[in-house]
Chains A and B, each alone.
Chain A
Amino acid sequence: MTLAKHLGIALAAAVVIWVLSVRLDAYRDYQIAEVAAYVVAVAGLTVLIGLSGQISIGNGAFMAVGAYAAALLLLHLGWPIELVFVASAIVAAAAGAIVGVAAARLRGPYLAGATLMLAVALPSVADKFQSLFGGDQGLALNVTTPGFLGPTFPPTRWLAWLAAAFALITLVLLANLTRSRVGRNWRALRDDEVAAALAGLNVARLQVLAFVISSACAGLGGALLAMWEASATPGEFTLTLSIGLLIAAVIGGLGSLLGAVWGSLVFVLVQGYLTNLAASHGLSSGASASVPVAAFGVVLIVVMLAFPAGIQGGIRRLLGPAAPAAAAPFNLLRRHAPASEHQEEGTT
């Protein structure tokens, strides 16, 4: 039942994206692809933070792993692009498993610091092994439009379709996972780790699983982003990107997959808009690029202090308590959620 509902929503979204991609110009198609790449990575992060209660400021590093894996597979083995994307998610998941085992022993600020370190440290690997990773220049990742679409088919539309398809598949898979036993277990240990352990849940295993899934999403998102940029370079996957994912997840509403979509949309569109606005007011390119950074800093603080449930929380409130499947009210923000909410979550 749940699966059918999620598939239906995804199908409707696919139709909307298809219409948009055909109607809009090449630049908008390009933006659809960018947003879709972000959605994948942000969805993984929002599940990690909002459901399992772990934080990562280093998911940009897993995006880099996925992007480089995709570029290497395409360059050296010439795999078909769809297979390359799946493989990039698997490679990043493996990296996430290694980090996740360490992360499962860490809490709150320690975990945030360790993953922050990961985001800062990993790009230097590309510098160290220049022959394999291409140093600062990175690796090319060019996707050709398949022949059956005809020679006049705009390449940006193909990028948009590819990225959107993977984003929708990811969202459907995650939506089902979060409504499953695993998702409920995550919520349980997020709200009270000791109670979850006493109830027989394997806390460490659940936490590692969340980390693996989140990094797989980050890896796929990174590969899509590299496809969008036509290259995988260390400069793409900075600490700023990792924090950008966090911003998008918080703006959308932590723990909500639809929120990940809103957050990514806002993040990508507002970033471009503010940069252009600042540049048109005569700021230098470096200063213009800093305007959205400062703005998102303020937004992050204000949302966290005043609207911790984000955009999706606002939408839920507008739709009222009677809205169907008003699923898990986001309660990470309280140390101990009332028991009634657990029961509500357990019904689907």
Chain B
Amino acid sequence: MQEFLEFTLEGVSSGMIYAAIALSLVLIWRGTRILNYAQGGMAMFTAYVALIVINHTGNYWAGFVTALAAGLVLGAVLERAVVRQVAGKAPMNAVIVSIGLLIFIEGLAGIIYGAQYRSFPPAFSIDGLSIGSVALGISRNDVFTAVAVLAAAAALAVAFKYTRVGLRMRATAFNPGVARLLGVRVGRVLTLGWALAGLIGALAGMLVTPSTFLYPNSMDTIFVLGFTAAVIGGLESPLGAVVGGLVLGVVLSYAGGYLGSALVEIFGLGALVLVLMVRPAGLFSAAATRQV
């Protein structure tokens, strides 16, 4: 029973990371119908920026804020410089271009920072918490992870619903052409979407890197699991992304805990294929409207 509790809480904690990646993918997908395969690479790069700031200043939070700002800028710059050029072309082009971005960022990180594994400081203690004598299997840092991602998701949800910018973003996601006719500066909205996605991705990178070490490919596995979470959630809905991340995190935690940790990626693949077979548009999508 205690094992079960530990696995569940661990699953929730890692699920929040997948949820953050999924959230950033959903932000971009809604606006541009592009799946950003470079999201993990962008998060990895901002984590390097954070590490440098942390090493220079000795202050974790200075690095944290810098990473989020770097993510914001990186997302905006990539959208303006590269992604805008593939708008309106076949979906395959966008897939290939974003993979090009991914390996460019990973290569750049390797050139600047080298390929060795670096340890990365957590925000809070990673000692296991316990209630009385019952170990919970999670740490203060895991709690911070969950709170940070939930706060980011809630802030996005509120912004989408109650601000003018959020309304413009929803209008653009719904129909870019009509939004433009109504006076929305669609280009700016798309840039903003990428910038926010970069920020959320950077948050995910800051939260997960203490447990994976930092190296140019460190986010690859996290990214594909985040992608899986986004697909489970249906790619359209921010709420779906969070729920998808949680479901995936808990399921993988049980699978890893009871069946062996070496196969977590394989179980992730199984979950992805299963969801795509049963509900190609995701579990939380309202209607299946796939373009053929």
Contact = CB atoms under 8 A, between A and B. Distances in A.
Given A117-B227, A297-B100, A334-B90, A289 B115 contact: yes
Interface residues of B, number: 55
A22 interface: no
Q: Is the interface of A mostly helix, strand, loop or mixed?
A: helix
Interface stretch (B158-166, B237-245, B260-268): B260-268
Contact of A117 (B86, B90, B268): B268
Interface stretch (A66-74, A87-95, A147-155, A300-308): A300-308
Contacts of B101: 297, 301
Contact of A108 (B86, B92, B105, B228): B92
Q: Is the interface of B mostly helix, strand, loop or mixed?
A: helix
Interface stretch (A99-107, A138-146, A219-227): A99-107
A105 B85 CA distance: 29
Contacts, number: 170
B89 interface: yes
Interface in B184-232: 216-217, 220-221, 224, 227-228, 231
A141 B154 CA distance: 54
B266 A296 contact: no
A116 B277 contact: no
Interface residues of A, number: 57
A293 B103 contact: yes
B110 A127 contact: no
B108 A294 contact: yes
Contacts of B177: none
A121 B266 contact: yes
A121 B265 contact: yes
Contacts of A170: none
Contacts of A295: 107
Nearest to A306: B85
Given A110-B276, A239-B217, A286-B110, A128 B260 contact: yes
A124 B266 contact: yes
A297 B109 CA distance: 12
Contacts of A297: 100-108
7 contacts: A57-B99, A108-B91, A120-B220, A240-B217, A290-B216, A293-B104, A295-B107
Instruction: Give 10 closest A-B pairs by Cβ, nearest first.
Output: A290-B110, A297-B104, A294-B107, A286-B115, A300-B100, A293-B107, A121-B265, A109-B35, A301-B100, A297-B103
